[in-house]
C-alpha cells in the first residue's frame, strides 16, 4: 500500500526519480491537477504553473489524436524552451515540416547506419576495458547516442561535451537556474547557426547538408527551421536513447535468468526493448496547451491550460496491461505501449532508437556471459520532468 501522497510530487525531484507511486494513486481520479513548476529562480517564473496530468491510456490516446484541441505549441507557456521543429508545431505547418524532414530521415537511411553504430558500440566497450566494473552511463549510455546524432548531423567529435551540457539545460527544470539554462540554450542556437551557414557554403555528406538541399513541391527549409530541427535531434535523440539503454541494462542486471535466456535466444531482444519502453518509459510526459475548453472525466479544463500527456502512466494502465507493474517481455500487449507517442507527433527517431537499443543489447549479450549490479548506488536523474533515467549506474560486466 502506498502512503498518501500529493499529486504535486510529480513536479519534484522525488516524483521525477520515481513517478509510479503517484501514477497508481491518481489514475483513478485522473486527470489530476498538479504543481508543475514552482515560482522562483530555478524555473524563472514569477507565478507557479499548474498542469493537468492525463494518466489513463484511453485519455492519453484521445488527446494525442486531437491536435486541434491539444496544441503542441507549448513554448508559448514554457518560455525558456527553444522552439523545436515538429515537437512544438501543429498541423498544417507540422505536416509540411514532417514531410520535408522525413525525406532526410528515412528508415532506409537509418538502417544503413547499422554497421557504423555496431562499430561505435564495440569501440566504446573496448575503451571501457573488456570486463569488470563500469559506470554504464558515462562509459556507454551517454556517449553512444551522442556520437550517433553528432555523426549524422556532421558535427565534430570535439564538441560532444557541449552537446550534453546543452541538452541537459534545455530539459532540466530543477537544479540549473533559469538564467544558466537560457545562456546554454542560446549557445547551442549560435553553434547550430554557424554549422548551417558552413554547410550552405560547402555541402558535406551529412544530415544538415541534406536538410539544406531538401525540397518538396518546390519548398525548402529556412535556417530557423533547420536550426529547430537540428536542436530537436540533439535533444530528443540523445537524452531519450541514453535513458532507454540505462533503464534496459539496469532491469537486466537484476534478472540474470532473463540475461541467460536472451543470450541463447535472440528473438527475445526486441520484446525486451519494447517492454522497457513500456515499463520504464524514457519519455514520461509531454505537454500540450488546450485551444478550447474541454471536459475530460470529471474535469472541466479551460482554454490555454497545460495538459501533460503522461505516457509513462498510460503505459502502466491496468485497463490495457495486465499486471502492469511487473516487467514481462513476453506479455502479449506490449506492442500497445505509447513510449514513442502516437499519431501526429509519433517519434520520428523511433527506428533509430530501436536500432541503437538492439545493437547495444546484442553487443553486450555477445561479449558478456553475465551482467550484474556494481558497487555504489544507482542514481536516478531528478532534474528533467520529461525523462526517466539514471545519472549513474554501476554495473559489473562478467565473463
Ligand atoms: C528511446 C528513445 C526515444 C523515445 C522514448 C522517444 C519518445 C518520443 C515521444 C514520446 C515523442 C512524442 C512527443 C509528443 O507527444 O509531442 C517523440 C517525438 C519525437 N522524437 Fe523521439 N524518442 C526517442 C528517440 C528519438 C530519437 C533518437 C530521435 C531523433 C534522432 C527522436 C526524434 C523525435 C522527433 C523529431 C519527435 C517529434 C516528432 C513530431 O512532432 O512529429 N526521438 N519522441
Cα distance between residue 207 and residue 231, in whole Å = 13
| Residue 39 resides in a domain | yes
The model's pTM is 0.95
How far apart (Å, rounded) are the C-alpha atoms in residues 51 and 60?
15
Q: Which atom of ligand 1 is nearest to the CA of 244?
A: 1
Instruction: Examine residue 293 and state whether it is found in any structural domain, yes or no.
Output: yes
Answer yes or no: is 8 within a domain: yes
Report the share of the chain in percent with pLDDT over 90: 64
Distance 339 CA to ligand 1 centre (A): 9
What lies within 8 Å, CB to CB, of 153 at 6+ separation is 195, 206, 207, 208, 230, 233, 234
289 lies in some domain: yes
Instruction: Tell me the CA–centroid distance for residue 233 and ligand 1, in Å.
Output: 9
Position 30 scores a pLDDT of: 87
Residue 295: give the domain boundaries: 1-65+284-338
* 84 in a structural domain: no
Is 315 among the domain residues?
Answer: yes
Number of domains in the chain: 1
Is 44 contained in some domain? yes
Which of 341-345, 382-386, 393-397 is predicted least confidently? 382-386
- CATH number of the domain encompassing residue 320: 3.30.43.20
Q: Euclidean distance between the first and final Cα of the chain, in Å? A: 40
Helix ranges, the chain (H): 13-17, 20-26, 57-64, 93-104, 107-111, 114-128, 136, 143-153, 160-171, 178-201, 207-213, 223-236, 239-253, 256-264, 269-279, 311-314, 350-367
- Checking if the pLDDT of 229 tops 80, the result is yes
Which residue has a Cα nearest atom 6 of ligand 1?
A: 340
What pairs with residue 45 in β-bridges? 40
Q: Which atom of ligand 1 is nearest to the CA of 311?
A: 10
Q: Does the pLDDT value for residue 216 go beyond 70?
A: no
Is residue 32, in this structure, part of any structural domain at all? yes
Amino acid at each position: 500500500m502506498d502512503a498518501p501522497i500529493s499529486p504535486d510530487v510529480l513536479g519534484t525531484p522525488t516524483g521525477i526519480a520515481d513517478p509510479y507511486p503517484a501514477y497508481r494513486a491518481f489514475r483513478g481520479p485522473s486527470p489530476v491537477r498538479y504543481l508543475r513548476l514552482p515560482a522562483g529562480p530555478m524555473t524563472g517564473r514569477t507565478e507557479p504553473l499548474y498542469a493537468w496530468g492525463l494518466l489513463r491510456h484511453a485519455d492519453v490516446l484521445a488527446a494525442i489524436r486531437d491536435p486541434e484541441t491539444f496544441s503542441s505549441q507549448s513554448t508559448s507557456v514554457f518560455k525558456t524552451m527553444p522552439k523545436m521543429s515538429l515537437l512544438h508545431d501543429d498541423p498544417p505547418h507540422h505536416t509540411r515540416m514532417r514531410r520535408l524532414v522525413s525525406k532526410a530521415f528515412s528508415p532506409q537511411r537509418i538502417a544503413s547506419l547499422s554497421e557504423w553504430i555496431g562499430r561505435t558500440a564495440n569501440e566504446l566497450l573496448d575503451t571501457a576495458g573488456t570486463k569488470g566494473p563500469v559506470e554504464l552511463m558515462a562509459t556507454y549510455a551517454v556517449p553512444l547516442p551522442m556520437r550517433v546524432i553528432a555523426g549524422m548531423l556532421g558535427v565534430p567529435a570535439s564538441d560532444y561535451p557541449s552537446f550534453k551540457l546543452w541538452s541537459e539545460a534545455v530539459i532540466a527544470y530543477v537544479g540549473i537556474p533559469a538564467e544558466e539554462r537560457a545562456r546554454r540554450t542560446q549557445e547551442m542556437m549560435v553553434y547550430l547557426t554557424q554549422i548551417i551557414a558552413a554547410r550552405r557554403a560547402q555541402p558535406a555528406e551529412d544530415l544538415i547538408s541534406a536538410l539544406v538541399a531538401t525540397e518538396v513541391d518546390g519548398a525548402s527549409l529556412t535556417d530557423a527551421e533547420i536550426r529547430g530541427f537540428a536542436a530537436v535531434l540533439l535533444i530528443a535523440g540523445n537524452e531519450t536513447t541514453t535513458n532507454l539503454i540505462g533503464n534496459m541494462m539496469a532491469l537486466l542486471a537484476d534478472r540474470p535468468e532473463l540475461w541467460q535466456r536472451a543470450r541463447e535466444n535472440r528473438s527475445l531482444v526486441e520484446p525486451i526493448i519494447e517492454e522497457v519502453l513500456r515499463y520504464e518509459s524514457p519519455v514520461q510526459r509531454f505537454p500540450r496547451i488546450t485551444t478550447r475548453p474541454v471536459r475530460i472525466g470529471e474535469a472541466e479544463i479551460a482554454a490555454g491550460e497545460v495538459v501533460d500527456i503522461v505516457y509513462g502512466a498510460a503505459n502502466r494502465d491496468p485497463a490495457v496491461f495486465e499486471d502492469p507493474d511487473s516487467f514481462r517481455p513476453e506479455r502479449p500487449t506490449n506492442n500497445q505501449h505509447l513510449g514513442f507517442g502516437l499519431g501526429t507527433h509519433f517519434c520520428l527517431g523511433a527506428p533509430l532508437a530501436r536500432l541503437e537499443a538492439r545493437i547495444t543489447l546484442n553487443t553486450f549479450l555477445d561479449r558478456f556471459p553475465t551482467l550484474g549490479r556494481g558497487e555504489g548506488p544507482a542514481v536516478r536523474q531528478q532534474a528533467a520532468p520529461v525523462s526517466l533515467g539514471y545519472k549513474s549506474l554501476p554495473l559489473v560486466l562478467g565473463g
